[in-house]
Amino acid sequence: DVKVTQSSRYLVKRTGEKVFLECVQDMDHENMFWYRQDPGLGLRLIYFSYDVKMKEKGDIPEGYSVSREKKERFSLILESASTNQTSMYLCASAWIGSGNTIYFGEGSWLTVV
Amino acid sequence: KNEVEQSPQNLTAQEGEFITINCSYSVGISALHWLQQHPGGGIVSLFMLSSGKKKHGRLIATINIQEKHSSLHITASHPRDSAVYICAVPFTSNQFYFGTGTSLTVIP
């Protein structure tokens, strides 16, 4: 079974703190994604990566950065957390190709106070 | 502009009822995905289909490529089916459009 593992399930951080969300997948997928999910807005893409050290901005990249140093690991970084970044963050991975299944992690609930 | 529209947004059903969730999309696609998210949980893929119909247990997914429409049916619904159901379509080899989801509650 494909496994996408997110390092933290629940986090509470203070405004201005630097936050790291880690994601690891075990299926050698080229594509990895970070989404945030908010009520009424659905899933919105923050960044994705199609290869090691490659990254592309999604719909809402402002306030976020990412790192992909190894194929299996994709990190989301909030350089200076703000209260409007309180959300559920979901990592996903998939093989390249539009006919392939996308696999999600369990999600990380981030609260910024 | 939403490339993927789902209806209804919210749905409450009695246990045992037949349920239908609809998804319409405006882009050309090679496949469509139905996803399920239980409260507080991650998202799992239920179906990926590019034509016709697929069945898995009490869940049936259909797609009409010409009409750009897909439906997810649940037969003999059960409280454990309570979840958000999300329709997703890939628009490149890397990216997806997602519907905003249908929140289903099945009452015993």
Name which residue leads in pLDDT, A91 or A41: A91
Return the HEC string of B15-45.
CCCCEEEEEEECCCCCCEEEEEECCCCCEEE
Q: H or E element: which one contains A41?
A: none
A56 vs B41: CB contact, 8 Å cut-off? no
A98 vs B30: CB contact, 8 Å cut-off? yes
Q: For residue B31, give the nearest of A43, A99, A106 by CB distance.
A: A99
Residue type, B34: W
Residues of A in contact with B44 (CB under 8 A): 104
B21 to chain A, closest Cα gap in Å = 16
Tens digit of each residue's pLDDT (9 = 90 or more) over A22-76: 999 999 999 999 999 998 888 999 999 999 999 999 999 999 999 999 999 999 9
Tens digit of each residue's pLDDT (9 = 90 or more) over B36-59: 999 878 899 999 998 999 999 999
A79 to chain B, closest Cα gap in Å = 25
CA A21 to CA A65: how far, in whole Å? 11
Tens digit of each residue's pLDDT (9 = 90 or more) over B74-91: 999 999 999 999 999 887
Residue A44, both tokens = 């919105």
List Cα–Cα distances, B21 to A3, A18, B45, B62, in angstroms: 28, 40, 16, 11
Q: For residue A106, give the nearest of B41, B88, B91 by CB distance.
A: B41
Strand partners, A73: A24, A70
CA A44 to CA B88: how far, in whole Å? 12
Q: For residue A99, give the nearest of B30, B88, B99 by CB distance.
A: B30
A42 vs B98: CB contact, 8 Å cut-off? yes
Whether the per-residue pLDDT at A99 is higher than 80: the answer is no
Q: Is B101 left (phi over 0), alpha (psi -120 to 50) or beta?
A: left
The band of B1, judged by pLDDT with boundaries at 50, 70 and 90, is low
